Amino acid sequence: MKFEEIKNPYTLQFSYIPPQFIERSIITNEIINNFIREVPTFRGMFITGVRGSGKTVLMGDVRNKIGKLDDWITIDINPESNLLDSLARGLYIIPEIKALFVKAKLDFSVLGIGVHIENAELVASNEEDALKMMLGILKKAKKKILVTIDEITYSTDVARFSHAMSSYASADYDIYVLMTGLIENIKAIKNQKSLTFLYRAKARELDNLNITAICADYQKVLALDRETAEALAFCTKGYSLAFQALGYHYWNALSRYGAGKFDIDDVYRELDITLSELSYEKIWDELSETDRKVLAAIDTICKKNNTDAAKVEDIRKHIDMTSNTFTTYRTRLIDSGIVDGKKYGSLSLKLPRFGEFIRFNTY
């Protein structure tokens, strides 16, 4: 098998479905089935997770699959834009949809969409009214709409969007919303109890990629034996960015030196740099000083005892913290997706090779 850097099937790019893509079938089907059922359980859904976990890729996969279904329209809108205006414009530029609006003699010229129509049946005065008119026509045409918004954060425009979606839901228009966001940003939105639509939206946190699937991918694409592929797969801990980055750097090593002619530690060093630059530095910057001390303590204890997890009691002693105070930081770090607390009485670092990053940044 010939390996060439320019044909590397793994990527370090964000926000699109890569050539080597491991599908999360369970959550993908759960989201799609929710929206396409006769009466959806949730009109809005959030995909949450730590940076680099594959939120945008999953949303894109769902959007593509739903977009292929009859009578469905998908619109992706910029979270930094005027959401209602972007949605109205996005619908209007779809030729088959625009034709329905023109036929119905709807006038959206006040928004700079289309032209002024003489003897118009309805004339829009703002974005929200324009969308009501559009959705009414689309419902008669038995069209359903999925709106996708990547990396949403709370703002007054998001609040306005939520209130509009509540209004459209009350009118039984067929419009649904799928969003991605960091866990803390989704919580900030859901803490705004007046935003009924987004408050009731289902939040679904991403699970790790399946290690067996990663192993099979590496074995096939990188032409590895089972043992080597397993070692690489376990190194990623199922973290989406690590899966792509490790495959990317291993492929490049094969193309430059050939199988068995390079030091795997060099590949891991490249991986560490990529994880740091594309994810870990930003995660670290967003942590408090005490959060960092807790993480450093977990790493120190695990390294000292040669274990994957550190006992909570040992962590508290190491940083001299009371049980009540520690609980706050424990909960926050688990919720952020950085720490795993599934093992009773213990904590472990959830992200691959994050211990190496911590040591480099604290010692």
d(CA 198, CA 189): 7
Compare 282 and 193 and report the one with higher pLDDT.
Answer: 282
Query: What residues contact residue 281 under an 8 Å CB cut-off, 6+ apart?
Result: none
Compare 167 and 130 and report the one with higher pLDDT.
Answer: 167
Query: What residues contact residue 141 under an 8 Å CB cut-off, 6+ apart?
Result: 100
Across 185-213, average pLDDT = 93
In the chain, list all ranges with CATH 1.10.10.10: 288-362
pLDDT at position 111 is 66
pLDDT at position 104 is 78
* Mean pLDDT over the full length of the chain: 92
Confidence at 256, pLDDT banded by 50, 70, 90 = very high
State yes or no: pLDDT of 125 exceeds 80: no
Does domain 288-362 correspond to CATH entry 1.10.10.10? yes
Confidence at 115, pLDDT banded by 50, 70, 90 = very low
Nearest to 237 by CA among 268, 196, 208, 212: 208
Sheet strand arrangement including 346-349: 310-311, 346-349, 339-340
pLDDT per position as a tens digit, 57-75: 999 999 999 999 999 999 9
State yes or no: pLDDT of 133 exceeds 90: no
Sort 163 into a burial class: Cβ within 10 Å, 0-12 / 13-18 / 19+: middle
Place of tokens 């969409």: 113
> Chain-centre distance of CA 329, in angstroms?
24
pLDDT at position 106 is 74
In the chain, list all ranges with CATH 3.40.50.300: 25-205
Query: What residues contact residue 259 under an 8 Å CB cut-off, 6+ apart?
Result: 223
d(CA 98, CA 121): 15
d(CA 268, CA 185): 32
Confidence at 124, pLDDT banded by 50, 70, 90 = low
Q: Class of 25-205 per CATH?
A: alpha beta
For 119-123, 304-308, 352-356, which range has the lowest pLDDT when averaged over its residues? Answer: 119-123
Across 81-86, average pLDDT = 92
State yes or no: pLDDT of 253 exceeds 60: yes
Query: What residues contact residue 188 under an 8 Å CB cut-off, 6+ apart?
Result: 153, 154
Query: What residues contact residue 326 under an 8 Å CB cut-off, 6+ apart?
Result: 294, 312, 315, 316
State yes or no: pLDDT of 119 exceeds 50: no
**C-beta of residue 186 within 8 angstroms of C-beta of residue 158:** no
Q: Which amino acid is at 115?
A: V
